[in-house]
Amino acid sequence: MSRYDGDVLAGNWRRPMKGKIPQVPAELDLVVEDADSGFCGAIVACDKEAVTLEDRFGKRRLFPLAPAAFLLEGKTVTLVRPAAQAQKGTLRSASGSIAVEGLRARVARESRIYVEGVHDAALVEKIWGHDLRVEGVVVEYLEGVDDLPAIVEEFEPGPGRRLGVLVDHLVAGSKESRIAAQVTSPHVLVVGHPFVDIWQAVKPSVLRIPAWPVVPRGVPWKEGVIAALGWRMEPADAWRRILGSVSTFADLEPELLGRVEELIDFVTNPGESD
């Protein structure tokens, strides 16, 4: 009998389903379907609260590990986070790439990725750290981009020595966009995200807030956010809370994901001799 047969409104449809719903470990590469949306895909990441599915077209979506929320071979199941030692299949890094087991970090390339601040560097390390060690790419932070042209000149980019730069708030007409336009070397790629600060690249839902607050002009952004959210803590503690809530690429906004992947591809271009 098809699970679509019959009238779902017939009888006492509010009564809980009989029988115990089986719990299934959310093992990597297991193919399941979200019962509510119908999205079907393989599991590529799982943490204590959510699972990420990737469909056959490469599209990924994040779903909470709710009771009786998934279908496995047409049967209702509850996905649970698997024990670390029980995970099978292809292991994935936090960025969603295939994890290299027993990794020994590659000798660092001459090419580098620069980010604006220590928070940017910490977030990039948490999600892409494995990938960067596989590729031998070092991430350094600039503490702002005001002196970017001079920093690029000092780096001396060239064939086999590429530089990728990630800039905060790189939008048309901004100070950051004017500075970035001064960098013209073909061996340097400057990209950016539209967020005022890297904090905003973390999805609000990950922190269980409806949205990132709008901070009035003249108010320091981080302090304004903390006050608006009612967090009684210093910015350093707030950042630890934010970073601690992030576990996979699915916790970040696409505007950041695409730019970091672009930089990694640029500095590891196989056409460049190392």
The share of the chain scoring above pLDDT 70, in percent, equals: 82
Backbone angles phi, psi at 131, to 5 degrees: -60, -40
The DSSP output letter for 25 is E
Contact 76, 35 (CB under 8 A): yes
| For residues 241-270, average pLDDT | 90
| For residues 226-233, average pLDDT | 94
- Class of 112-202+246-267 in CATH: alpha beta
DSSP helix/strand/coil, 54: strand
Query: Which amino acid is present at 101?
Result: E
First-to-last C-alpha distance (Å) of the chain: 61
Highest mean pLDDT among 36-40, 44-48, 73-77, 235-239: 235-239
Q: Where are the CATH 3.40.50 domain residues in the chain? A: 112-202+246-267
Tokens of 26: 């959310």
* Tens digits of residue pLDDT in 183-203: 999 999 999 999 999 999 999
Residue 175 clears pLDDT 60, i.e. is over it: yes
The architecture that CATH gives domain 23-86 is Roll (2.30)
Matching residue, tokens 């690029």: 152
Query: Which amino acid is present at 91?
Result: L
* Tens digits of residue pLDDT in 102-145: 555 555 678 999 999 899 999 999 899 888 888 888 899 887 78
CA-based nearest residue to 226, from 247, 207, 244? 207
26 burial (CB, 10 Å; 0-12 / 13-18 / 19+) is buried
Residue 2 clears pLDDT 90, i.e. is over it: no
pLDDT at 216: 93
Residue 255 clears pLDDT 90, i.e. is over it: yes
The DSSP output letter for 214 is P
- When pLDDT is cut at 50, 70 and 90, the band that residue 209 belongs to is very high
Residue 222 exposure: Cα atoms within 13 Å on the Cβ side: 12
Residue 222 clears pLDDT 70, i.e. is over it: yes
Distance, C-alpha 160 to centroid of its chain: 28
| For residues 12-36, average pLDDT | 74
Which one is predicted more confidently, 145 or 11? 145
pLDDT at 133: 84
Residue 89 clears pLDDT 60, i.e. is over it: no
Calculate the average pLDDT of the chain. Answer: 83
Residue 272 clears pLDDT 80, i.e. is over it: no
Q: Where are the CATH 2.30.30 domain residues in the chain? A: 23-86
Q: Distance (Å, rounded) from C-alpha 257 to C-alpha 134?
A: 18
pLDDT at 234: 94
pTM of the model as a whole: 0.64
Pairing of strands 40-46, 31-34: antiparallel
Which one is predicted more confidently, 104 or 36? 36
| For residues 86-110, average pLDDT | 62
- When pLDDT is cut at 50, 70 and 90, the band that residue 85 belongs to is very low
Residue 6 clears pLDDT 70, i.e. is over it: no
pLDDT at 13: 37
Q: Distance (Å, rounded) from C-alpha 185 to C-alpha 170?
A: 18
Contact 182, 208 (CB under 8 A): no
| For residues 6-33, average pLDDT | 66
Tokens of 141: 């932070």
